[in-house]
Amino acid sequence: MLTIIEIGAIIAFAISGLIEAARRRMDIVGVFTVAFVTAFGGGTLRDVLLERRPLFWVQHQEYVWLVLGLTVIGSPLLGLMRHRWADRVMNLTDALGLGLFAVSGAALAMAAEMPLIVVVMMGVVTGVFGGVLRDVLCNEIPVVFQDHRPYALCAFVGCWIFIGFDAVGAEPWLAVIAGAGTTTGLRLLALSMDWRIPPWPRNMED
């Protein structure tokens, strides 16, 4: 179950990394590096913080091959895609990866019997970190800090939904779908409705 989620999240984030790196006109090594770091960054931080060894991409070496393969076949695929699609596919894969990784982080933290607020923070960190690294490597201010639209907040809400479903005794797969679906859905909704987070109220003069 968790394996399927992880594969989905890896593919989604790897593609978002490919698109972003291709836009920067990186060479093939750079494109692979960005895809690799985006796909594995969040999960690696999760495993280090939760003390899970071997790391998920060490345990499942096929994940590394998967990203290597995506880099090779990604080029003609992206070539087929018209430019105005790139933005949408990018946003969609990014939202999918966010939701799936957030729930996987929360599920593993819950299995380690951590307190609820920590479960939620682990979910948020796991979901957000891969995308942050992608943007840092591409020399951008991370999306999560830059646009004033909900990103980490979606993962935050989704993780509480996941915990809620789990608390009322729902089937694990149902809790996962609810949590990941809420996160991804909220993010896509926020993008299409152009929701804004209110700035932090302050009265200091500058």
Rounded CA-CA distance 64/87 in Å is 26
CA distances from 42 to 66, 196, 206 (A): 17, 25, 36
Is residue 3 a contact residue for its own copies (CB under 8 A)? Answer: no
Applying CB under 8 A, the span of 8-16, 135-143, 163-171, 173-181 interacting with its own copies comes to 135-143
**Among 4, 81, 111, 189, interactor with its own copies by CB under 8 A:** 81
Applying CB under 8 A, the span of 1-9, 92-100, 138-146, 185-193 interacting with its own copies comes to 138-146
For residue 65 the two structure tokens come to: 């091959």
CA distances from 58 to 109, 128, 130, 141 (A): 19, 21, 17, 30
**Among 9, 41, 56, 57, interactor with its own copies by CB under 8 A:** 57
Rounded CA-CA distance 101/92 in Å is 14
Residues within the interface to its own copies (CB under 8 A):
21-23, 25-31, 33, 36, 44, 48-49, 51, 53-55, 57-58, 61, 64-65, 68, 75, 78-79, 81-83, 86, 114-118, 121, 137, 139, 141, 144-145, 148, 150-153, 196-206
